[in-house]
A and B are shown apart, each in its own frame.
Chain A
Amino acid sequence: MNRRSFLKTTAATAVVAGAGVPALAQDGPLKVGFIYVGPVGDMGWSYQHDQARKALEKAFGDKIETSYIENVPEGPDAERALTQLALAGNKLIFATSFGFMDATVNVAKKFPNVMFEHATGYKLAKNLATYDAKFFQGRAIQGTIGGRMTKTNKIGYIGSFPIPEVYQGINAAYLAAKKVNPDVEMKVVWAYTWFDPAKEADAASALISDGVDVLLQHTDSTAPQAKAQEAGNVITFGQASDMSSFAPKPRVSSTIDNWTPYYTKRVQDMLDGTWKSEATWGGIDSGMVEIGEISDAVPAEVKAEALKLKDDIASGAVHPFTGPLNKQDGSVFLADGEMATDDQLHSMTFYVEGMTAEAPK
């Protein structure tokens, strides 16, 4: 049993004194810590982060040492878990859920010499960076495939929480679908969870019985895939991970969160001493958003169209949010030819024009 060496008590004493933790020269590997909101076996969000952690271990070998704490509830427990990671000598810590935000900010204040990375949040500090992926780019491709393939002209979307990231996804999918199929209608059910197989299955059933034959999910379990498989004539897309066990049908493609390139870069920056705090929002071009294999259930010409859109988004030739574009209430969002800025997208809490669903208050 090789017990990992802890920082000496000085660190704890420093915390108690309310002062910052002194930089302790550390020989040996760089320690990198992770906290996950779910179990590493959720096959979705936390699973993908853990895959990237494993990739880091493989890539950097004995130059780094990683550890993680899973199933960390958002709130005070997260603060303790993060402190625990910092006290254990981790110099780079990834907090991989939005709800860890305030806890990460607090702990980052106490450990000025430890670098923190918070996924999907918006609070930065000198030793706290944020990172997120442009999931909506993948939604545009799903919308294209869905719009072409739907027979009922009804696309269903299982929303997690009414926050900008999810609005971006719904709007991007709707706009792409409407472009190839003007009759398409988007139905939305809010599950108010990121991961709850039972609720997700209920949401999927509700949408399917409503006539939906293309199902998009912004929640991380495979329960909606299973429901679609039962229904038979419904197609779905993998979320967060590839969910390829449901291929070739119902799962016809997927959006994969690939954190490996980003994590690799940040660890390399730490090793080189060039790490700095910044907000990263990566898309298809950076490899952060990957499009899972488009299965044979998709007609060849639709597949080609989807892949071309993917390339155009990656090259910047196409932006899923390009004017003229109005909000649902008819007011102008983007003028003709105008492309949405990141700031505009970050505060998107509305549906675009044409959506018939009612946005939650």
Chain B
Amino acid sequence: MITLIRRPNPSRFWSYATPVAAVIATMIAGGLLFALLGKHPVEAIRVIFYEPLFGENAAYFRGQLLVKAGPLVLIACGLAVGFRAGIWNIGAEGQYIMGALASAWLALHMYPAESHWLFPAMIVLGAIGGLLWAMIPALLKVWFGTSEILVSLMLVYVAENLLAYMAFGPLKNPEGYGFPGSRNLQDYPSAHNAELIAGTGLHWGVVAALVAVIFTYILMHRHIMGFRIRVAGEAPRAARFAGVVPARLVMISLGFAGALAGLAGMFEVSGPAGQITDSFNVGYGFTAIIVAFLGRLHPVGILLAGLLMALTYIGGDMAQLTLGLPSAAIQVFQGMLLFFLLGFDVLTNFRVRLGRRAVA
């Protein structure tokens, strides 16, 4: 008989150990899955986790890790603040799209004028685009008590349709032979978020992600605001006595997350993606939720988790190529990570007792 007993305080040990345990369990279960598909499990895990970092072409793939991890970390930092406060923004994907749309709109509007002010202005507009989109669930929650989970999630689909409309309509490349998609910003020097050092994958979005990690750390752990946010999440009643205004907290959490997601969209559309197309968003906003939890909602943890998640994407592609693993198997593998993390999280809040049922 297994009994779970709630711990008086969450276990510090397990809160650090569960991500590691989840990764190991994912490797084992994933290895089993790959073995069932007739692939050598150890080889598959090696290709996914080792090859991109230390394999023969690692110089290229390490850079790609940064490209992939940048938006994940940037978005996850913002989400973590809200999650700490018990405010569940599930719609970062939509805020990401709106940030990209707002900044691309500006760039395409200015085209082909070259100006040093364009890129900074795009950054500001990207943040505002995401922030305003996040204000919709925030204000609806404050005014009418709606669920920010549902509203923010539903707004993702609204944003996706707006994206498609823009790609086929107002932002369509007039020289694109009627094909959907905007001009490519990579061909527009003032708007191009180019690699800072060629071949390294390092672009302004990666820099912004690192700044976001530091900023979020200071906010959450060195500032009274962070204290209030954490108290609000852990003990809402106590927070009210401590003078926390719930409405303000909702606005700040969602606004911060929205702005960072918008920034991520801006750096992506002006850099690696280059253009607004109907398939511009590839799920960073949702994957970032996994990254935030895998990183224990802690900025440094998020940085590591973002890199790990990026590794599974790039290593996953590699496993497809060299071992012929189907891409669905890789996606299952990534999903397992969150599954095991949530499973092992039980250990953080509960003690497991084997043996007789405890007397009530």
Shortest distance from the beta carbon of A170 to any chain B beta carbon, whole Å: 14
Does A226 interact with chain B (Cβ within 8 Å)?
no
Q: Is A67 an interface residue (CB 8 A)?
A: yes
Among B60, B275, B278, the most chain A Cβ lie within 10 Å of the Cβ of: B60
Q: Is the CB of A7 within 8 A of B178?
A: no
A96 to chain B, nearest CB (A): 15
Q: For window 325-360 of chain A, which residues contact chain B by CB distance below 8 Å?
A: 346-347, 349, 360
> Which of B56, B67, B328 is close to A9, meaning CB atoms less than 8 Å apart?
B56
A317 at the interface (CB under 8 A from B): no
Indicate if the CB atoms of B327 and A9 lie closer than 8 Å.
no
CB distance from A74 to the nearest CB of B (A): 5
- Interface: A28 (CB within 8 A): no
Whether B58 and A12, one on each chain, are in contact in the complex, defined by CB atoms closer than 8 angstroms, is: yes
Tell me which of A4, A15, A164 has the highest count of chain B C-beta atoms within 10 A of its own C-beta. Answer: A15
Counting chain A CB atoms within 10 Å of each CB, which of B63, B178, B328 scores highest?
Answer: B178
B164 close to A (CB within 8 Å): yes
Q: A8-B56, A17-B199, A87-B60 are in contact. Are A162 and B317 (CB under 8 A)?
A: no
Among candidates A7, A85, A192, residue contacting B164 with C-beta atoms closer than 8 Å? A192
Answer whether residue A69 sits at the interface, using C-beta atoms and an 8 A cutoff: yes
Which A-B residue pairs are the 5 nearest by beta carbons? A16-B199, A76-B272, A71-B327, A349-B178, A12-B57
- For the complex, give the distance between the alpha carbons of A304 and B280 in Å: 46
Name which residue of chain A comes closest to B59, CB basis: A12
Residues from chain B with Cβ under 8 Å of A87 in the complex: 57, 60
Asked if residues A80 and B268 are in contact (CB atoms below 8 Å), the reply is no
> Interface code B187-198, partner A: CB below 8 Å = 1, 0 otherwise?
000000000001
**CB-nearest residue of chain B relative to A87?**
B57
- Establish whether residues A18 and B177, one from each chain, have CB atoms under 8 Å apart when the complex forms: no
Residue A70, interface by CB 8 Å: yes
The answer, yes or no, to whether B359 is at the interface (CB within 8 Å) is no
Q: Are B314 and A80 in contact (CB under 8 A)?
A: yes
> Bound state CA distance, A13 and B57, in angstroms?
8
Whether the Cβ atoms of B274 and A7 lie closer than 8 Å is: no
Q: Choose from A12, A16, A80, A162 the contact partner of B168 (Cβ within 8 Å).
A: A162
Q: Which residues of A contact B58 (CB under 8 A)?
A: 12
A75 and B184 in contact (CB under 8 A), knowing A1-B40, A13-B59?
Answer: no
Do B59 and A16 have beta carbons less than 8 Å apart?
Answer: yes
- Docked Cα-Cα span, A18 to B58, in Å, equals 16
Q: A12-B60, A16-B59, A67-B324 are in contact. Are A163 and B178 (CB under 8 A)?
A: yes
Cβ–Cβ < 8 Å partners of B9 in chain A? none
B64's nearest neighbour on chain A, judged by CB, is: A80
Within 8 Å CB of B168, what residues of A? 161-162, 192, 360
Is A84 at the interface (CB under 8 A from chain B)?
yes
Distance from B176 Cβ to chain A, minimum over Cβ atoms (Å): 9
1/0 per residue A72-100: CB within 8 Å of B? 01111101110111011000000000110
Q: How far is B282's CA from A81's CA once the two chains are assembled, in angstroms? A: 15
Alpha-carbon gap, A161 to B327, bound state (A): 26
One digit per residue, 1 when the CB lies within 8 angstroms of any chain B CB and 0 when it does not, for chain A 121-149 equals 01000000000000000000000000000
> Are the C-beta atoms of B177 and A346 separated by less than 8 Å?
yes
**Which B residues touch A15, using CB under 8 A?**
59-60, 199
Alpha-carbon separation in the docked complex, A210 to B311 (Å): 50
Q: How far is the CA of A106 from the CA of B64 in the complex (A)?
A: 15
Task: Pick the contact of A74: B200, B279, B314, B324 (CB < 8 A).
Answer: B279
Q: From residue B111, how far is it (CB to closest CB) to chain A in Å?
A: 16
- Contact status of A7 and B327, CB under 8 A, knowing A16-B199, A69-B317, A73-B279: no
Collect the chain B residues with CB atoms within 8 Å of residue A13's CB: 59
- Chain A interfacial residues counted at CB < 8 A: 49
Contact B57 A74 (CB under 8 A): no
| Main DSSP-derived SS at the B contact region | loop
Does B277 touch A at the CB level, under 8 Å? yes
Minimum CB–CB distance for A234 against chain B, Å? 28
How far does the Cβ of B26 sit from chain A's closest Cβ, in whole Å? 20
B25 at the interface (CB under 8 A from A): no
- Measured in the bound complex, the distance between the Cα atoms of B325 and A67 in whole Å is 11
A71 shortest CB reach to chain B, Å? 4
Is B120 located at the chain interface by the 8 A CB criterion? no
**Are A75 and B280 also in contact (CB < 8 A) when A88-B322, A347-B177 are?**
yes
The yes or no answer to A6 lying at the interface (CB within 8 A) is: yes
Nearest chain A CB to B39's CB is how many angstroms away? 9
- Bits for A154-182, please: 1 = Cβ < 8 Å to B, else 0: 00000001111000000000000000000
Task: Tell me which residues across on chain B come within 8 A of A4, comparing CB atoms.
Answer: 322
B321 within 8 A of A: yes
Listed A/B pairs (22) with beta-carbon separation below 8 Å: A1-B43, A4-B322, A6-B57, A12-B57, A16-B199, A18-B198, A39-B326, A67-B321, A71-B327, A74-B279, A75-B277, A76-B67, A76-B273, A79-B272, A85-B321, A87-B60, A102-B184, A163-B180, A164-B178, A192-B278, A347-B177, A347-B178
B112 within 8 Å of A by Cβ? no
Q: Is the CB of B282 within 8 A of A75?
A: yes
Specify the chain B residue showing the minimal Cβ separation from A71. B327
CB-CB under 8 A from B280, the residues of chain A are: 75
A58 contacts the other chain (CB 8 A): no
* Known contacts A16-B59, A18-B199, A102-B275; A69 and B180 CB within 8 A of each other: no
Shortest B65–chain A CB gap in Å is 10
Query: What separation, in Å, do the CA atoms of A7 and B60 have in the docked complex?
Result: 13
Chain A: CB-nearest residue to B58? A12
Q: Check if B55 is an interface residue, CB within 8 A of chain A.
A: yes
Tell me the minimal C-beta distance from B120 to chain A in angstroms: 23
The answer to whether A70 and B272 have CB atoms under 8 Å apart is no
Q: Give every chain B residue within 8 A of A192 (Cβ-Cβ).
A: 164, 168, 278
Smallest CB–CB gap between B295 and chain A, Å? 23
Contact across chains for B273 and A75 when beta carbons are under 8 A apart:
yes
Bound Cα distance A19, B340 (Å): 44
Chain A residues positioned under 8 Å from B181 (CB to CB): 99
Contacts of B136 in A (CB 8 A): none
One of B179, B200, B324, B327 near A98 (C-beta < 8 A): B179
